[in-house]
Every structure is written in C-alpha cells, then in structure tokens.
Amino acid sequence: MCPRAGTSMNGRARLRRVSFGSTSAIVTSIGLVVGFASTDTSRATLIASLLIVGVADNLTDSLSVHLYQESEGLDAHEAFVSTVTNFLARLAITATFVALVATLTGGRLIIVATIWGLAALAILTVSLAHQRHAPVSRELVRHFAIVVAVIALSRAIAAVVTAHIT
C-alpha cells in the first residue's frame, strides 16, 4: 500500500495512499445519491447520510487499511501517514457530493453526481492504469461496470424499501 521505510515518496506511492479512499468515496456517494434521490428523501437526510458514511465508514476503512499495513510490516509512521491521507481523500470526495446535494435536486442531481463520480473515477483509473502499464479502456470498463452495478442495486433497494415500508 505504501512504500517501505527508507524508500522515497514517488507519484505511485502518493496515488496508492489516496486510491482506496477516493474510490470508496466515489462509488459509495454515487450509490447513496442515486438511491436516496430516487425516493422522497429530504435533502437534509441525504446530506446527513453522506456525512455519516463519509465519517463513520471512512474511519473504519482507514483503520482497516492501517491495521493491514501494520500487519504487512510497514513502518509505523508510513502507515499513519497513509491512514490520514486515505481518510482526508475520502472526506474531500464526500464533501464534493455533499455540495452537489446542497445545490441540485431531483433528476439533475442524479445526472450531475453520476457524471462527476464517473469523471473522478476515470481520472483515478487512468492514472493507475498508466502506472501499471495496463490497458486504460479495459480498466475503465471494469471499474465503470462496478459503478453501474452499484447504481442499479441502489435504485432497486430504494424502490423495494419505498414500496414496502412507506
């Protein structure tokens, strides 16, 4: 995940530090926005949900990454810096979705949030693909397929819950 002690910090290591948190925040936020925006959920509820997930789930994921890095024998300082960077990257991405929810509504919100999320994921995917010398188009298709699945499942869950609980 991070460079071992004694190695220099390069672009690859910096990208690794933010890739997990950013990807998680992008896909989770798209799922929440699409799921909640397709119901009669209030803007305040959606913002609160994004922030709760953006903090609570983010902290648990960051702790999990930290414990994994320590179990791999990474330097304690490097593991800490990576954990903090992961947390901040995810929080920053979540904040962009909160801003979208605060300013847009309905179908426009779903479209803009999805486009923004796909664009952010594309930037991350292209950067990682170039570093790994992997085919960019293949990586984009694989990653976007996951987003499409999250969108479909989020809409389906929202529809089922709305139909049976309201």
Nearest to 32 by CA among 95, 96, 91, 97: 97
Specify the pLDDT at position 66. 84
**Which has more pLDDT, 10 or 114?**
114
Contact 117, 30 (CB under 8 A): yes
Q: Please report whether residue 166 resides in a domain.
A: no
Q: Please report whether residue 90 resides in a domain.
A: yes
Q: Please report whether residue 98 resides in a domain.
A: yes
Q: Please report whether residue 5 resides in a domain.
A: no
Q: Please report whether residue 6 resides in a domain.
A: no
Residue corresponding to tokens 């479209």: 111
Q: Please report whether residue 50 resides in a domain.
A: yes
Residue 73 domain boundaries:
12-161
Q: Over the stretch 73-113, which tens digit does the pLDDT of each residue have? A: 888 888 888 888 889 989 999 999 999 999 998 889 999 99
Q: How many domains does the chain have?
A: 1
Q: Which two tokens stand for residue 69?
A: 């890095």
Q: Please report whether residue 134 resides in a domain.
A: yes
CA angle 11-16-18, nearest 5°?
Answer: 100
Q: Please report whether residue 1 resides in a domain.
A: no
Q: Over the stretch 35-50, which tens digit does the pLDDT of each residue have? A: 998 888 899 999 999 9
